[in-house]
Structure 1
Amino acid sequence: MKAEYLRTALTFRLARPDDAAEIARIHVRAWQAAYRSIFPAEFLDSLSVAKRRALWTEMIARNTPRVMLAQRNDVMLGWIAWGPSRDHDKGRTDAEIEAVYIDPAHWRQGAGRMLIDEAINAAASEGYREMTLWALEENAHGLRFYKALGFALDGVFRTERVGGCEVCETRLHMSI
């Protein structure tokens, strides 16, 4: 019952350039809340909404990746960015969720799950057959969330340097 209520209470739409400021705000707040135990506080506290706004303004204008918003009563709860896979070992029928973030004030209310469902349905309607995403190996909560949605580890890893830290990311995938 709760999920059905949330689905009817939320609206989804593609982002417009004037959404970039709110997307950036959510992006920074979600990083600061979700990754506090992974990255140094100085790095997280230095994240710039203005810089992220410029980034998202450009990406939305390019329409690559696609950015979809979840809203309730004109309040943006979160967003997802997805498009063709950027991985060299993937083909033309593979899509990738590049990012999904929910405002921490709205965590655990179903918006993330529904945004992922919307992106998967959109990708499938465009002929994609697999959806992938990358997650920090240390982000146990995120990994549990993605696995509960039906994503599985595919055994591919990469190491990135972020915020002065070396972190390992693992790729998950799902047939769609």
Structure 2
Amino acid sequence: MKIRHAEVKDAAQIAKVQVQSWQASYKGIVDSNYLSKMSIDERTLRWEEWLLQGPSHIVFVLEDDHNDIWGFISGGRIRSDHPYESEIYAFYLLKEIQQKGYGTKMIKRFSQQLVKQGQKSMIVWVLKDNPAKKAYISLGGIKIDEELIAIGSQSLMEECYAWQDLQLILD
């Protein structure tokens, strides 16, 4: 598996990973009716737009030797008023390759890119009941906030993890 910058041509595969990851990872957390209605076609259109944004939106994919995408991470400048510089907007791996070390490698590669762009700190929002948040904690992420968000007709608690110094992830 290799990690590389995403291109517009990757939009459909990224969308597929996002939808399949949501449906597998959030089963029992997010309403099943909402999950079943997620559309790869709709997500593909959004990803095409986002991938055209250029260097302000960083997106890396995890790809195998057959050019199949198994995961992605995206982010850029922070979108809230927390005192941090950058944010992971979305980070998903297909269930089959979770807990094999690829997620850590992707977060490190993403953090390297942020540091290269002169950014020093980062946050990520994650559903409170998502067991994958342990990865952020194991990489030194500190919980700094939480908020109630709406997904479909559901209200779910989301937690914010932060790194004041991205170098902590890279060391």
TM-score by length of structure 2 reads: 0.90
Q: Deviations over 1:26-72 (max 9, x none)?
A: 00000001111111111111100001000100000113421111112
**What are the equivalent positions in structure 2 for 1:1-176 lying under 5 Å apart?**
10-63=1-54, 64-73=56-65, 74-90=67-83, 94-139=85-130, 141-154=131-144, 156-174=145-163, 175-176=165-166
List gaps (5 residues or longer) in structure 2: 167-171
The one-letter code of the counterpart of 1:61 is: L
Pairwise CA RMSD of aligned residues?
1.3
Quote how far apart the aligned CAs of 1:87 are.
1.1
Q: Deviations over 1:59-117 (max 9, x none)?
A: 001134211111121221210001011112335xx111111101122222222111100
Distance 1:106 1:142 in 2: 13
Aligned residues: 163
List gaps (5 residues or longer) in structure 1: 1-9
Which residue of structure 2 lines up, in the alignment, with residue 6 of structure 1? none
Quote how far apart the aligned CAs of 1:162 are.
0.4
TM-score by length of structure 1 reads: 0.88
Distance 1:112 1:50 in 2: 25
Q: Among the aligned pairs, what percent are the same residue? A: 25
Which residue of structure 1 lines up, in the alignment, with residue 169 of structure 2? none
